[in-house]
Chains A and B, each alone.
Chain A
Amino acid sequence: MSHNEQLCTFFLDGHFFGVPVQQVQEVIRYQEMTRVPLVPQVVRGLINLRGQIVTAIDLRRRLGMSDRPADQLPMNVVVRTDDGALSLLVDEIGDVIEVEEKTFEEPPETLKGMRRELIQGVHKLSDRLLHVLDIEKACRLTDVTETVAAVR
């Protein structure tokens, strides 16, 4: 991790999250989605991003949080991954903030209510904690697929 890093931040169920800004392609408001039957629940659907078909992953579900209220529409954080663009559905968008390496810490053992392995660590900001999401791990759904397969 570089000395100073810019993170694009967003909120999920009241928690404060961030992803490296270089990996974010764009942030767009709620898009109509086409649901994909038979696939794991975390995949909310497909969106049309200017002619490109992008899979939308619900981060709340991915992190094992409760679903957002039905009247609250999610935002799309479109990130670039090794296999093309992918949309992460979040509750609300925050600012782009610059963080220093010295505030970074491994995820605490006490991290509850979400899957610890998807969190790279936390930045201890003056007023709150900023969770750094591991995009690659969050987008790789192999573990989810396996869980689903095991359940069936």
Chain B
Amino acid sequence: MSDLDDIVKEFLVESYENLDRLDRDLVTLEKNPDDGEILKSIFRTIHTIKGTSGFLAFNQLGAVAHVGENLLGRLRDRQLVLDGEITTGLLAMVDAVRQMLASIEASGVEGERDDSELIATLTRLQGIAPTPVASDAPEAAPDKNAEAALPASIGAILMERAGVTQEEILRAAERQSAGDPRHLGEILVEQGAARPADVVDALQVQQSARVQASASDSSIRVDVGLLDKVMNLVGELVLARNQVLQFANRMKDTSFLAASQRLNLITTELQAGVMKTRMQPIGNIWGQFPRTVRDVALGCGKEVSIEMEGKETELDKTIIEAIKDPLTHLVRNSVDHGIELPVDRVAAGKDRIGRLTLRAYHEGGQVNIEISDDGAGLNVERIRKKAVERGVITAEQAVRMTEREIFNLIFLAGFSTAQKVTKVSGRGVGMDVVKTNVEKIGGTVDLQSAVGQGTTVRVKIPLTLAIIPALVVSCGGDRYAIPQVSLLELVRLAPEQARSGIEMVQGAPVHRLRGRLLPLVYLSRVLELAGTGEVRPAAGNAVNINIVVLQAEGRTFGLVVDEINDTEEIVVKPLGQQLKGFNTFAGATIMGDGKVALILDALGLAQKANVISERQDRTRDAAESAAGGKTASQRQTLLLFQTGAHGRMAIPLSLVARLEEFPRNKVESAGEGQVVQYRGEIMPLIRIAQALGSQELGSQELRLQELGSREDEGTTADAGRDRGEGPLQVVVYAERGRSVGLVVERVLDIVEEDVVVERMADRAGILGSAVVQQRVTDLLDVPGVVRAAHPGFFAEPAAAG
């Protein structure tokens, strides 16, 4: 009995796999009805299910598969051409088969069901009258061609391909068994039944079939439970390795050190290898999307084609399972909301068939998955209005928020901008669930959209959950691990900076980080660690203040800890039942010395410390810093620099992406201007002095030469000018992912002051003047200068900084 159970189980596993492929194949076939290979593969799958169900006495299943097979047979023999109706019929058959398999899995029987309608439909589609025989003799007479499609004997291949009759082959086989030592092919050639070329052909077919068979022999099925166990053991090994390494470093014994280094290498490789066994290509879940897209598109009268890039991108099995539903939702959403009706698309001058693109790729230890459509895009104003109506934000906030912030509002619970509720979307559940689910596994969701051009949702997720890189910090004598994914940067304030570095805003400590206020959370206070080394800014004790800048739900905050130790690969272990529900901790891990450390959850911490609810503050912060130097009086951090005839100038530090130095010979010409290669991109350079129309440096020639072609044109160089020496000082300004370099003569200082800007009349490129460090300093209008020099830089509709 248990043997039979095993057979049934195997049948189920195999059939499920085949059915998933079937969905995909059918949708491909609908677009490409002439693809004989796909048709054959579909036919084979259904044929196998039919045959096996007959053998296992699942008659209902056999009957449905049988009519399906007949229909497919007629398609294959080109007596019918595949159209939408037939595809729908075949998909319905696949669904029926799947339901029956599910029922067999659950209860061992196919279940009470009436498929007569489906059978009648499928029979009608064949264009012949229904025959009652169909359901009575499901496993009757296996189709000759179906058999031939399986790896076959040379005789069978010749029968199919070269028109050799069965009698001829039987005769040849008789001679073989009578003692003829030659191959069947040779005998047939001698008999004149087949041409030598046919035999060679047939041998090739047979060979390729064998190669396919051996490919499936080289892989085995492994129980996931076993893999999990191996994974856990490797986790233990990683911890033991960490312990041994620490020990070895203390021992100073070279041979022991060498051995432990080897152990280290092997463990790392083993870890990578075991991780790999759990990896699955994302194509496994994408496989069902063509079907989903087809169904949804059909349901709302749209035409959508789906494209996939990076199907082979691999992810841990648990993660694959966790993102399956969110991705499905996003895909349905794109088809239902994103892509317009064919009429509207044609009216908008687009192709009537909408395009949905799925893209997956690895980046920085994470997997990025993008779902883009070329639909109508999100309407910022509608979302803004809706958000205000719903009371999600106030009208005042709505005005201040950036486009991107507005877009991300749709991930809030209860928020839907769909004009009508459809069966797929528009009920206000969904996007928030997508976000929650993705964040649960340590991922992030981001949305970008351009009206009329489409929407892209980008999901970033970690490769694996079991072993993660983490930062280890100390607080109150205990160590805590912070997952690297929520970590942005580390800031250390020296004792003398501590007093001025931490300020109070209505009783809440903040730190000014590059011109933005960073709310501070004291870990010792959040964790209620009484009487420990809590750092009080007012006390003026001579210790460094360590700030770990974390990100949770798009909110940035600084976590003040006693000490920052190191980054380490940690193995995440769940906490016991007794400690569930304290969401400040994401789990625990065992450190190199064998002690337990808790893993902090950035989101939980933020919620505990009430920084997450201050959403409004954030938008105000962003709006203020975006306004740059335009506000009349406010405390600002400014970058001071020297430039040509203009002397001292300043830029708000919030507009500065980086400060760089480039050797002068790195400057190249492109078109009219100068560029440098910067981080794999071409970055245009703008001479501030030149951009401001400085008289003495006005000529193009002079500029060229000064910007570094000295080696090439050294004869014309003005030797008397010291500006030409040393590397080029460049202030990098970035906007919408593009960078531009502002060439200054010298960077002077970074200062923090109350700035009162006085506007000057119409001086291009200058916002106004202010007194900085007791000297009048011009404030550079960075976007203005950039726009003037490179009109194309802001080509896309953007709210310029």
Contact = CB atoms under 8 A, between A and B. Distances in A.
Contact of B575 (A35, A53, A145): A53
Contacts of B590: 48, 51, 53
A43 B236 contact: no
B528 A37 contact: yes
A38 B578 contact: no
A44 B235 CA distance: 26
B598 A36 contact: yes
A38 B573 contact: no
B478 A43 contact: no
Contacts of B181: none
Contacts of A46: 575, 588, 596, 598
Contacts of B527: 37-38
A39 B596 contact: no
Given A48-B590, A55-B578, A34 B596 contact: yes
Contacts of B582: 36, 38-39
B573 A35 contact: no
B597 A34 contact: yes
Contacts, number: 65
Nearest to A81: B577
Contacts of B641: none
Interface residues of A, number: 25
B757 to A, nearest CB: 47
B53 to A, nearest CB: 41
B552 to A, nearest CB: 17
Nearest to A142: B578
Nearest to B527: A37
Contacts of A33: 596
Contacts of A86: 576, 578
A67 to B, nearest CB: 16
Nearest to A54: B576
A48 B594 contact: yes
B572 to A, nearest CB: 10
B529 interface: yes
A86 B590 CA distance: 17
Contacts of B596: 33-34, 45-48, 53
B598 A34 contact: yes
Interface in B576-602: 576-579, 581-582, 584-585, 588-590, 594-598
Given A32-B595, A48-B590, A48-B596, A38 B584 contact: yes
Contacts of B595: 32, 34, 48
A127 B590 CA distance: 44
B581 A145 contact: yes
A129 B545 CA distance: 57
Given A37-B529, A38-B528, A46-B588, A84 B576 contact: yes
B576 A83 contact: yes
Interface in B585-631: 585, 588-590, 594-598, 608
Contact of A55 (B235, B239, B529, B576): B576
A34 B594 CA distance: 11
Contacts of A84: 576-577
Contacts of B235: 51
A54 B574 CA distance: 10
Interface string B547-582: 000000000000000000000000001011111011
A78 interface: no
Contacts of B585: 36
A90 interface: no
A130 interface: no
Contacts of A39: 578-579, 582
A86 B577 CA distance: 10
A41 to B, nearest CB: 12
Contacts of B575: 46, 53, 55
A79 interface: no
B528 A51 contact: no
Q: Which of A36, A37, A45 has the most C-beta atoms of chain B within 10 angstroms of its own C-beta?
A: A37
A39 B585 CA distance: 11
Contacts of A54: 576
Contacts of B239: 51
Given A53-B588, A53-B596, A35 B576 contact: no
A19 interface: no
Given A32-B595, A34-B478, A36-B598, A43 B528 contact: no
B660 to A, nearest CB: 44
A51 B101 CA distance: 41
Contacts of B478: 34-35
A132 interface: no
Contacts of B588: 34, 46, 53
A36 B594 contact: no
Nearest to A55: B576
A47 B589 CA distance: 11
Interface string B517-537: 000000000011100000000
A80 to B, nearest CB: 12
Contact of B578 (A34, A35, A43): A43
A63 interface: no
A47 B575 CA distance: 11
A145 B236 CA distance: 32
B336 to A, nearest CB: 41
A57 interface: yes
A141 B578 contact: yes
A59 interface: no
A139 interface: yes
B482 to A, nearest CB: 15
Nearest to B581: A145
A152 B734 CA distance: 48
A35 B576 CA distance: 14
Interface string B207-244: 00000000000000000000000000001100110000
A36 B528 contact: no
Interface string A71-98: 0000000000001101000000000000
Interface in B225-279: 235-236, 239-240
A45 B575 CA distance: 11
A35 B240 CA distance: 22
A46 B577 CA distance: 13
B651 to A, nearest CB: 44
A47 B573 CA distance: 12
A131 to B, nearest CB: 22
Contacts of A55: 575-576, 578-579
Interface in A93-118: none
B588 to A, nearest CB: 5
A86 B594 CA distance: 18
B481 to A, nearest CB: 11
Contacts of A51: 235-236, 239-240, 590
18 contacts: A33-B596, A34-B595, A35-B478, A37-B527, A37-B584, A38-B528, A43-B579, A46-B596, A46-B598, A48-B594, A53-B575, A53-B576, A53-B588, A55-B579, A57-B578, A84-B577, A139-B578, A145-B581
Interface of B: 235-236, 239-240, 478, 527-529, 573, 575-579, 581-582, 584-585, 588-590, 594-598, 608
| Closest 5 A/B residue pairs (Cβ) | A37-B527, A83-B577, A55-B576, A34-B596, A46-B596
Given A37-B528, A139-B578, 6 more contacts: A34-B478, A38-B584, A39-B579, A48-B590, A55-B578, A141-B578
